[in-house]
Structure 1
Amino acid sequence: MDKKYTFIGIFIALIVLAGVSITLLNQGGSSDSGGSQEVNTSTSDEQSVNTSTSEVTSTSGAKTVKHGYLPSNGDALIFVAKEEGFWDEEGLNVELYQFTKGTEGYNSLFGNKLDTVGAGTSDPATYIAQGAEITIIGGLMSEGQFLVTAPENAEDLADLNNWKGKQIATIAMSNGDLIYKAALKKAGIDWKKDVTFLELGSPNAVLEAVKTGKSDGGIIWIPYEILAQQQGLSVASYSYQYYDNHPCCRIALKTETLNEDRDTYVKFEKGLIRAYKFFSENQNESVDDIQKYVNVDKEAIRQSTWSDYFYASPDPNKNGVVEYYQMMKDSGYIDTDVRVEDHIDSTVYKEALDELISENPDDQFYQNLLSEYKEMNE
């Protein structure tokens, strides 16, 4: 294998040799249920959790799965599945751990501190391109990325041709980061030379850079577009304008973990599918569930979640991920010969869906999901 593709292996080995501990701390009020915690990259040995979670069971006998999530309504199905008890009913004890950007979640996954991660497609795809043995088994959302700017600059930055010479704040490897860079490439603009990208650590940091004039614009995700507007900024463009219905947050885990205990992750997906049905039929209750993990008011959650620029779905959308991966290659975002198809197992989701259809043969909702599965994965 080419040296550049061994980066992940070297990176993980260095973490292990250095004894770096990924700390899992209580989230401090973001979840009323007490079921959410933060992923912290502190090296404090006193607070580190050094447990291979694939071997853990809870005191009730349920299998424990540690899942890393972003505090965004894009992870709505995770929050609904947890709060409505769907995973409990499937015999799983799912513990939730918060991170602020995908790289933090994947560092914890590679360090055996998490079992599964829900983050944008760019994150797992980039690691896969570099040789990481991870597998995508499901989805959470599509679209939901934006460019925000000062109101007086919104019309100007709505045209990608006006990005030349501008500085744009972004979060590396986020979906919006890739979507806009690919759109620039398609428009004939060299995003590596003609635009300066300021890489920051969180959506809040991006908003601050735009508000203070440090950056001309900033790339963020839901629900930060609502927060941006509340702080006097404007949305200049939406990611769907450049790639309609593009996949975003995917559920991924180590391939080894999936191979050792496939049944657990079929149950995990089953809980997410049930959450999707609940989410689709119970808006008010879903808003309440989401707000326990996303620190914005209920109306902002409702406005951002039930919109025409965000779609929730647990379907892995294999075809969409393959297309997205090719776009990453075409835009110069990644350079690899690794096939992403070899790192997507959509049959985990399909098995979960088949079980639900068998248990609920007259439920049209699940039948519709089966039709969608065939369109997006076969």
Structure 2
Amino acid sequence: MEQSLVRMENGRSRRAGALVMFVIAMTFIAPALAQEKVRFPIGESSKTLSYGPLWVAAKMGFFDREGLDVPIVTMRGSPLTIQALTADSTHVANATVDTLISAYERGADITMIGGLINGLGLAMVGGKQYKNYADLRGTTIGTQTLTSGTGFALRLVLKSHGMEYPRDYKLLNIGSAPDRYKALTSGQISSTPVGVPLEVVAQKQGFNIIGYFADDLPNYQFNVYIVKRSWAEKNRPLIVRFMKAMVVTMRWMMDNREVACAYLSKEMAISVEDCRYASEYNFKNRIWDRNADLNVDGVRTLIRITAEQGILKEPLPEPAKYIDSSYLKQALAEIGKK
């Protein structure tokens, strides 16, 4: 009996000790668990697969690891995306280089810090009676914007095929890729640019792939991460954490394509097969960069083209005028330490 009481007492002591250790541990752990993530809204202009890394980072936990709560706000075109950034409504804008240059030259306090879409992953899709660029002469073509982003690239591609706007065709500002696709299927427009792999989806439904933008504009930095300089300098640790999340996301997507496509196919409402095709296309053509870096030569191309539009004058600036690579460099250095 006495031995039983001793054993019971020892058991109580061990349980009490364990309880004390648990309380002590929770004293240190609870604040960390209770600590709220930093709200870090970002803006982008098209929820398509090309922008997929943003949703992977948000939904697969890569932003969470950096203590960031990242709402992704889809806006209609790069100009609005940059306006939201300069108004402090977002902390990062995913927008086109031509829009950044135009805004910068008008006095916007912005800079690009990395690359999301490092090339033109766009294809020109035509209605069933339009099989080549020549067939588009005199027709109405759908676009997301008239003078920037996709619309800017569209006009350049058509110009390379001998067509000038508005002499040879009309542009109808429709908006997002799904809206443009609806306009195409209804016959409202003759053709429209769509992001890979939507051209494959369209082809399966009897539409024609007229051409790929990258064939006409092979060295073109399309979409970048943009920050407001003054805000970013005051909040450098947050920007670095954001870029760390994007680097880790890009590396994970490159090394885990099947898992990534299993998620993205549902998020973007495409088949796994089409996602595989697009991912292979984007990584093979370096449209997606493993380190979330941008293509400096591609930025130089945009500077030259922007100058041809009359926005810049000779002597043309170097890309460094519009780029701050310090955030990405710090992110890569911190990742390398782990």
Q: Classify the TM-score, shorter chain.
A: 0.7 to 0.9
Q: Is 2:15 the partner of 1:62?
A: no
Task: Name stretches of at least 5 consecutive residues in structure 2 with no aligned partner.
Answer: 1-32
Q: 1:86 aligns with which of 42, 58, 62?
A: 62
What's the CA shift string for 1:322-357, capped at 9, x where partnerless? Answer: 322321332x2x523595642211222122112223
Q: Is 2:75 the partner of 1:99?
A: yes
Residue 148 of structure 1 is matched in structure 2 by: 125
Residue 321 of structure 1 is matched in structure 2 by: 299
How far 1:223 sits from its partner (Å)? Answer: 4.1
> Tell me, what secondary structure is at the counterpart of 1:271?
helix
> Tell me, what secondary structure is at the counterpart of 1:237?
strand
Inter-CA distance 229–164: structure 2 relative to 1 (3 Å threshold)? closer
Task: Name stretches of at least 5 consecutive residues in structure 1 with no aligned partner.
Answer: 1-57, 360-378
Q: 2:264 aligns with which of 251, 268, 290?
A: 290
How far 1:251 sits from its partner (Å)? Answer: 0.8
What's the CA shift string for 1:165-200, capped at 9, x where partnerless? Answer: 232211115544222322344455432423222222
Inter-CA distance 150–247: structure 2 relative to 1 (3 Å threshold)? same
Identity among equivalent positions (%) equals: 21
Which whole-Å CA distance do the structure 2 matches of 1:236 and 1:279 have between them? Answer: 29
Contact 2:101 2:322 (C-alpha < 8 Å) held by counterparts: no
**More helix per residue:** 2
Inter-CA distance 119–229: structure 2 relative to 1 (3 Å threshold)? farther
> Tell me, what secondary structure is at the counterpart of 1:201?
coil
Residue 212 of structure 2 is matched in structure 1 by: 238
Residue 134 of structure 1 is matched in structure 2 by: 110
Contact 2:39 2:68 (C-alpha < 8 Å) held by counterparts: yes
Inter-CA distance 92–298: structure 2 relative to 1 (3 Å threshold)? same
Which whole-Å CA distance do the structure 2 matches of 1:98 and 1:344 have between them? Answer: 24
Residue 250 of structure 1 is matched in structure 2 by: 224
Inter-CA distance 206–310: structure 2 relative to 1 (3 Å threshold)? farther
What's the CA shift string for 1:254-297, capped at 9, x where partnerless? Answer: 22221211221111111111111111110121113324532333
> Tell me, what secondary structure is at the counterpart of 1:194?
coil
What's the CA shift string for 1:42-93, capped at 9, x where partnerless? Answer: xxxxxxxxxxxxxxxx962433211123311112222222233222222333
> Tell me, what secondary structure is at the counterpart of 1:286?
helix
Contact 2:141 2:169 (C-alpha < 8 Å) held by counterparts: yes
Which whole-Å CA distance do the structure 2 matches of 1:61 and 1:316 have between them? Answer: 32
Residue 36 of structure 1 is matched in structure 2 by: none
Inter-CA distance 212–74: structure 2 relative to 1 (3 Å threshold)? same
Residue 350 of structure 1 is matched in structure 2 by: 329
Which whole-Å CA distance do the structure 2 matches of 1:114 and 1:165 have between them? Answer: 40
What's the CA shift string for 1:212-232, capped at 9, x where partnerless? Answer: 332222122234324423443
The amino acid across from 2:81 in the alignment is G
Which whole-Å CA distance do the structure 1 matches of 2:220 and 2:178 have between them? Answer: 24
Residue 29 of structure 1 is matched in structure 2 by: none
Q: 1:166 aligns with which of 139, 146, 164?
A: 139
Given the two structures, how large is their TM-score scaled by the length of structure 2? Answer: 0.77
Which whole-Å CA distance do the structure 2 matches of 1:327 and 1:143 have between them? Answer: 15
Residue 277 of structure 1 is matched in structure 2 by: 251
